[in-house]
Amino acid sequence: MSHEQPDSFDATCVHAGAGPDVPGLGMQTPPLSPPIFQASVFDIPTLDLMTRAFVDDPEIYAYSRAGNPTVRALELAVARLEGAEDAMAAASGMGAISSVLLSLLSAGDRLVTTTNIYGNTRTLIDKHLSRLGIRISHLQPEQIEAGLPEGTRVLYTEPLSNPTLVAADLPRLAEIARAAGARLVVDSTFTTPYLCRPLELGADLVVHSATKYFGGHGDLIAGLAVGPKALVEPARGVMRAVGSNLAPQEAWLTQRGLRTLHLRMARHVENGQVVAEWLAGQPKVAATHYPGLASHPTHAVAQRILQHGYGGMIAFDLPSDGPGGGRAAFERFLGGLSMIRMAPSLADVGTTISAPAFTSHRGLSPEDRAAQGIGEGLVRLSCGIEAAGDIIADLARGLAAV
């Protein structure tokens, strides 16, 4: 019986990293569910193997901070989903992002980001990388179009920005980065390879918070960096040095989530479109931000870079005028909800909301938040896999309280 690798995205989700793909087993009858190698160290019988383990051979295991078979199974599975040569897992999305940026940048280099990115990434860059002598620029698309500043080594973006869902023209950004001799790094957490495979659009490295759609059930924290081995290995070296390795249990949970990624994403996407269209027609919603709406300013860009739809994330503004607007409107809206919970994360099977001004983007100055359209009345909605009608009914209850 042959064990050829599946070709379709759906089959890869279900089978990658399991059975004969599990590293380190050497079994004629491997388990269909990958085992958890709950070990900190491994028995190394020869100095030759020890030497190979400590010169970064990912298939020789010595110490789980440096590598673990359960973690490696996840890395290989995600690499296949992204169409990449290799992947590196980390203890969180921020662990993956920081490992990648530290592996690519040195004092005097310039890091350019698109203006609208995840708030904690912005905090990492502005408050910590800047202290290392790395020069920072946050630019609007038209500024990037004019050319990257001298000394730019990394251009960083998100296919759909967190939280206002601005779509990035990845092929064009890749052209601009290449012309400047810079690497394009893309945080594809909101999109996953189900919606977008940035490497195929010109990106050099892709990072994910696997806590979100990959895991999908709100029970793990993990991150991944994906790309060519020549770029993944330096990031892996940083990850090992700072100790932001992923634990085997979280790796196993993430891989379990991958098995239903294609099914969950289809429902997230379906619900996202239906709910966004409903929100856009509500008088108590000042603005609806969803790239699947023809009225969205980057709808045409989203059509070019995405497949299978526009995602399960929506942002919308509650009224901001007067003493009853902004934060007060948000609190009344929250109080009117019954099924939907507020949680500072996203991509769970259950629908959740978040308040970016008070959570993910709280570290930004009021001026920076305003420039990104993040007011106190902005609601970030993560559509779960419930029936769309149930989500809409609960949102209607919340809006009735505003």
Per-residue pLDDT tens digits for 100-157? 999 999 999 999 999 999 999 999 999 999 999 999 999 999 999 999 999 999 999 9
Catalytic residue among 169, 187, 204, 348: 187
Note the pLDDT tens digit of each residue in 11-65: 998 888 766 566 656 667 777 888 899 999 998 899 998 888 877 676 788 999 9
Whether 156 sits among the annotated catalytic residues: the reply is: no
- Of the listed ranges 43-52, 77-86, 186-195, 232-241, the least confidently predicted one is 43-52
Most confident among 198-207, 354-363, 369-378 (mean pLDDT): 198-207
* All domains of the chain in start order, with CATH: 9-258 (3.40.640.10), 261-400 (3.90.1150.10)
Note the pLDDT tens digit of each residue in 254-266: 999 999 999 999 9
Catalytic residue among 118, 156, 194, 290: 118
Tell me what pLDDT residue 321 has: 73
* Residue carrying structure tokens 């590196």: 88
Task: Tell me the pLDDT band of 1, cut-offs 50, 70 and 90.
Answer: very low
Percentage of residues in the chain with pLDDT exceeding 90? Answer: 80
CA distance 120 to 122: 5
CA nearest to 379, candidates 336, 331, 322: 331
Catalytic residue among 10, 63, 65, 229: 65
pLDDT(2) > 50 = no
Whether 212 sits among the annotated catalytic residues: the reply is: yes
Which position has the higher pLDDT, 11 or 99?
Answer: 99
CA distance 270 to 118: 24
pLDDT(3) > 60 = no
Tokens of 159: 């296919």
Note the pLDDT tens digit of each residue in 315-335: 999 988 767 678 999 999 999
Beta bridge partners of 184: 155
Average pLDDT, the chain: 93
Whether 118 sits among the annotated catalytic residues: the reply is: yes
Catalytic residue among 212, 236, 264, 380: 212
pTM: predicted TM-score of the whole model, two decimal places:
0.93
